[in-house]
Amino acid sequence: MEIKKIAVLGAGLMGHGITQVAATAGFEVNMRDIEERFLSSGMEKIKWSLGKFAQKGRISEEDSKKALERIKTTVSLEEATKDVDFVIEAIPENLKLKQQVFKEIDGYAPSHAILATNTSALPITEIAVATNRPEKVVGMHFFSPPQMMRLCEVIRGDKTSDETLNTTIELGKKFGKEVVLCKKDIPGFIANRITTAGSNLVAWMVYNGEYTVEEVDAAAIHKAGMPMGMFGLMDFVGIDVGGSVAKFMDERWPGYDMCPLLKEKIEKGELGVKTGKGFYTYPERRWVPLDLPLEKAEKFDAMTSNYVNVNVAAELLREDVATAEDIDKSIKLGFNAPIGILELADTIGIDVVVSKLKEFEKKYGPFYKPSPLLEEMVKKGELGSKTGKGFYKY
């Protein structure tokens, strides 16, 4: 199906970024929000961003001008969607709100139009039931900021058709994105499902008094090459953002058990850089690089979260949710990681990962039981690079 005109619902951080991406790629775009002030703010940010791109030579001044000319704004949902081929919803992560919007746009958009939701975790299938075209509803998860990040997850709902899926994948590629396919509608999809599990365990370790925030971040910075640390990164992104994903996972993923550490911070309004305090303090509400001494890094195993993340990734592979290549691409491009999670597992050694997971299972419960796929690989001697075969061949 040929896509010529697109509606983007929302002019916030994700909405205006997606609008910019679509317009730069040559599509006519209707950007819609509920108030003119949000649209004005979104357009100002698009102009600034395109100006920066032109200044750095990423696009020409002429292309920047043409991209702006392709964007129309409106507060009317009907006006935004009545004559488009593709809708990308980028409103707040609230299931009931998304269902209401999808019910409305189903009545306005042409019958051939595909309706996509830019959600990081919410179920595509439950959003689709609000429409009379569930086969034309799909997940299209961009990473923040969309105009900079190369990854786009496309997620299949229970009733999403092959045509809808293929059209969405091709559109993502026309946007200049590296597209990964999540074949099943599971909580967190690929990237967020993998990373939230390990982060949650580390949060529990801190909450239980096994390690301090500084010990974890010092190890992450000095041993694992994470420039912001784990908790520093949460402060930078916003503890409420990570907390909303964790809360959703807690509700939908048996055994996940969200750590109270994040809940307590959110209840206190200590959300990180934007509030001046999170796990660290920011007097000027600006990110300040963490200055943690090397000796603080000695106690905590910086690979802890990765052992758990490997386990989740192995289950995604075993259950045919995604390919090994897409799993690794999602981690590298979604989180600017130098190596994919399955590539990392092959480097560590599958036997080492399984041994650590068994320790976690014994201490923290059955959620951390090693994936049958990992157990089978150990039995076969497929331990990674050291044996010539793991998730990949060497």
SS3 317: helix
Picking from 221, 141, 225, the residue whose alpha carbon sits closest to that of residue 187 is 141
* Neighbouring C-beta atoms of residue 94, cutoff 10 Å: 13
Phi/psi at 250 (nearest 5 deg)?
-60, -40
Cβ proximity of 369 and 361 under 8 Å: yes
* Cα angle 102-139-112, degrees, rounded to a multiple of 5: 60
Cβ proximity of 171 and 156 under 8 Å: no
What residues are labeled active site? 141
Q: 289 vs 138, 203, 297, CA distance in Å?
A: 39, 21, 16
Phi/psi at 191 (nearest 5 deg)?
-60, -50
CA end-to-end span of the chain, whole Å?
A: 40
Q: What is the DSSP string of 117-155?
A: E--SSS-HHHHHTTSS-GGGEEEEEE-SSTTT--EEEEE
- 160, two tokens: 């999403």
Query: What is the rounded CA–CA span in Å between residue 99 and residue 125?
Result: 10
- 327, two tokens: 């799993």
